[in-house]
Amino acid sequence: MKKLRTGVIGCGKVSHTHARALSEFEESELIAAYSRSADKAEAFAGQYGATGYTDLDEMLGVVEAVVVCTPHPFHAAPTVRALEAGVHVLVEKPLAASLQDCDAMIAAAVKSGCRLATVSQRRWYAPVLRVKRAIEEGRIGSPVLGMVAMLGWRDEPYYRSDPWRGSWEMEGGGVLVNQAPHQLDLLLWFMGPIAELYGCWDNLNHPYIEVEDTAIAVVRFTSGALGNIVVSNSQKPGLYGKVHVHGSSGASVGVQTDGGAMFIAGMSPVLEPPVNDLWTIPGEEHLLESWRREDTEFFGTIDAASYYHRLQIRDFLRAILEDRQPLVTAEEGRDTVELFTAIYRSNRDRRPVRFPLQPERGREDFDGRLA
């Protein structure tokens, strides 16, 4: 099998998950790591037998595919430069912090013909795939109500652990931009595109940061289905992340993607297995217990903090080699950014927001984040 020459842009905590996979897969030869800091680039690259770079264009001249792991507002610039250099790009979630950046990245991918994808590794969870299959096979009728509840906790040491955390300029947002994109992506994957949204956000109990720690939204999908979103970093010590879908038949399916204290890349392990926590399809209710047992046993055999990342990274590499679309496309990544952008704008304007959304030109308030 052909090996792609690969690299990592950004040498922070989550970068190690990508570097380990890229250095071990038969589809990849990890040869490069980029950081603005020479010390960081060399130290990081040295762990994986790669070369460290502080000149991005020089690095892009030797690789065929990269993973971008910079802070969210700084995804676009290296991604566009990589695509213009003919390099395929996988971007850590979210695709970007703004629609303007998303559109620039997607346009560069279209022009170059290179693959562009964004990380949403929870799509590979077995209980998530069960929900997706049940919906696609019509086993709940049509989905008529989708719900996201993600209640967790982030303390002051977390926000002090990296200089970019907690600020609009460096992080791009709070719970909506950093923690919730996984569940928001699953809601859209299950329910389809949005027609209209009304949302609010606030900082309830984190006075030492600028960004929101809580957001809520009411959604109407283009199918006519309804939705509800509640996401927060204000519940100590952290509770769960859930995505539930209720069908026109009256049957419901759901997944708890996260439980216990919420996972923090490079700082904490995944404490609880993802499980189906709701399943009322007639004749299938009894499966819930066996699935929970099966998923819990499997969870004990893997490193959940890296296992699902590895599945997505391998899918991305094979999409390049097989000349096909990856499972999570850049356009789907933009959909998630569009969703949280709508919540920011709705809060600012105190009214529902109609979809689709376009970048706001000539405004300096970052879609309402800078009040």
Asked if 102 and 135 sit in the same domain, the reply is no
In a domain, 363, yes or no: no
Cα first-last separation, the chain: 53
Give residue 371's pLDDT band: very low, low, confident or very high (50, 70, 90).
confident
Q: Residue 129 gets which letter from DSSP?
A: H
Asked if 150 and 70 sit in the same domain, the reply is no
In a domain, 276, yes or no: yes
In a domain, 371, yes or no: no
Tell me the average pLDDT across 206-214: 97
Q: Of 250, 268, 302, which closes a domain?
A: 302
Asked if 181 and 273 sit in the same domain, the reply is yes
Asked if 87 and 132 sit in the same domain, the reply is no
Helix 15-24 to helix 38-46 angle, to the nearest 10 degrees?
A: 40
Q: Which two tokens stand for residue 29?
A: 């030869």
pLDDT value of position 1:
72
Where in the sequence is the domain holding 78, given as residue range(s)?
A: 4-121+322-328
Asked if 140 and 266 sit in the same domain, the reply is yes
Q: Is 216 exposed, middle or buried, given 0-12, 13-18 or 19+ CB atoms closer than 10 A?
A: middle
**Structural domain tally of the chain?**
2
Answer yes or no: is pLDDT of 265 > 90.
no
Q: What's the CATH code of the domain at 179?
A: 3.30.360.10
At 23, which helix (H) or strand (E)?
helix 15-24
pLDDT value of position 269:
67
In a domain, 78, yes or no: yes
DSSP string of 298-342, one letter each residue: HHTTS-HHHHHHHHHHHHHHHHHHHTS--SSBHHHHHHHHHHHHH
List 34's β-bridge partners, or say none: 9, 53
Evaluate whether 191 touches 351 at the Cβ level (below 8 Å). no
Asked if 181 and 104 sit in the same domain, the reply is no
pLDDT value of position 260:
82
In a domain, 73, yes or no: yes
Asked if 141 and 225 sit in the same domain, the reply is yes
Instruction: Output the CA–CA distances (angstroms, integers) from residue 353 to 113, 139, 348, in the order listed.
Output: 33, 32, 11
d(CA 311, CA 315): 6
Tell me the average pLDDT across 309-335: 98
d(CA 3, CA 30): 9
Asked if 36 and 161 sit in the same domain, the reply is no
Q: What percent of the chain has pLDDT over 70?
A: 98
Give every CB contact of residue 243 below 8 A, 6+ residues apart in sequence.
128, 131, 146, 147, 148, 183, 186, 187, 190, 254, 255, 257
Asked if 155 and 28 sit in the same domain, the reply is no
Asked if 129 and 112 sit in the same domain, the reply is no
Tell me the average pLDDT across 309-318: 98
Q: What's the CATH code of the domain at 13?
A: 3.40.50.720
pLDDT in tens, 45-104: 999 999 999 999 999 999 999 999 999 999 999 999 999 999 999 999 999 999 999 999
Answer yes or no: is pLDDT of 178 > 70.
yes
In a domain, 98, yes or no: yes
Evaluate whether 313 touches 170 at the Cβ level (below 8 Å). no
In a domain, 352, yes or no: no
pLDDT value of position 263:
56
Asked if 132 and 240 sit in the same domain, the reply is yes
Closest CA to 194 of 316, 352, 26: 352
Asked if 143 and 203 sit in the same domain, the reply is yes
Closest CA to 316 of 301, 303, 306, 326: 326
Tell me the average pLDDT across 319-339: 98
Give residue 223's pLDDT band: very low, low, confident or very high (50, 70, 90).
very high
In a domain, 57, yes or no: yes
